[in-house]
Structure formats: C-alpha cells, structure tokens
C-alpha cells in the first residue's frame, strides 16, 4: 500500500473512530482536521506525515468569546510505523483524550445534566439553570 492509500485509509479510520458526530475540514496543504463529539470531545489532525490527537478544551478570551485551546495528547509519524500499529495507537489516543475530556464534565447542581466545563457557571450550574435559578442575564 502506498502513502496516498494509507492517507486515505487514515481519513476513513479517523472519521469512524472519533466520537460521533465527526466534523471534517480540509486546511491548506492536505491537512485534515476532524472534530468528534457534540459537544466536541476529541480533535484529530492528519497531515501527510503525522497524526495528532488533542483533547478538546476551551479558554475564555473574554467572558463572551470562547477560544478553542486543544490539549495535545499525542502525535505520531504514521509513515514510519506499520499500519496496524498506527491504527492501534491512534485508537488508544482517541480513547484516552475522550476519557480525559469527559472527566472534566460536571453535573449541574440544579438539573443534574452533565455539562462540559466551558458551559458551566461558577458552582457547577449550567447556563439554563443559571438564568432560571439565579437571575443571570446572558
């Protein structure tokens, strides 16, 4: 199998192994970015030499402008490894990134809904309850 076939195979692998739904976008120079999960849990970036896996995270630039700030969990050169090893390692990195991301979710103390950290107000309150129970205006 040549490099372009392996690249195509990795696209197929990532789009089926990331948490659904998977949103795929093509950047310059054949770089593919895959965002898996709703809310997003894992981001994978595929280049012509590497696969990079990140845990999705957000940093608040201003109180109303969240900025994506993914945390890298691993990167590997897929051309230098056997195909089965690449699939195996990438699969494990996706699983690990997803577990870490989900471990940061908290249950809202009013409605009990599991909510990602970037959506929570202080004291583990989701946006809906912050408005309803605490009179926070968005």
- Of 40, 43, 51, 129, which lies in the binding site for Zn ion, with binding defined by CB under 5 A? 129
121, 97, 98: which is closest to 109 by C-alpha?
121
The string of DSSP letters for 44-104 reads EEE-SSEEEEEE--EEEEETTEEEE--EEEEEEEGGGS-HHHHHHHHHHHHHHHHHHHHHT
For residue 73, state whether it binds Zn ion (rule: CB under 5 A): no
Residues 102 to 121: which contact Zn ion by CB under 5 A?
Answer: 108, 110-111
Interface residue with Zn ion, options 18, 22, 32, 126 (CB under 5 A): 126
- Which residue number, 83 or 118, has a Cβ lying nearer to Zn ion? 118
Residues that bind Zn ion (CB under 5 A): 108, 110-111, 126, 129
């Amino acid at each position: 199998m040549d490099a372009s076939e392996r690249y195509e195979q990795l696209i197929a692998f990532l789009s089926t192994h990331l948490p659904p739904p998977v949103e795929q976008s093509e950047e310059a120079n054949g770089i593919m970015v895959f965002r898996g999960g709703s809310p997003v849990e894992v981001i994978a970036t595929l280049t012509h030499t590497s696969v990079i896996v990140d845990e999705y995270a957000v940093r608040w630039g201003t109180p109303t402008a969240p900025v994506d700030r993914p945390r890298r969990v691993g990167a590997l050169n897929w051309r230098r490894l056997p195909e089965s090893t690449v699939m195996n390692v990438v699969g494990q990195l996706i699983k690990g990134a997803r577990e870490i991301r989900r471990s940061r979710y908290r249950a809202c103390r009013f409605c009990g809904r599991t909510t990602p950290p970037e959506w929570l107000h202080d004291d583990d309150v989701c946006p809906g309850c912050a408005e309803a129970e605490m009179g926070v205006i968005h």
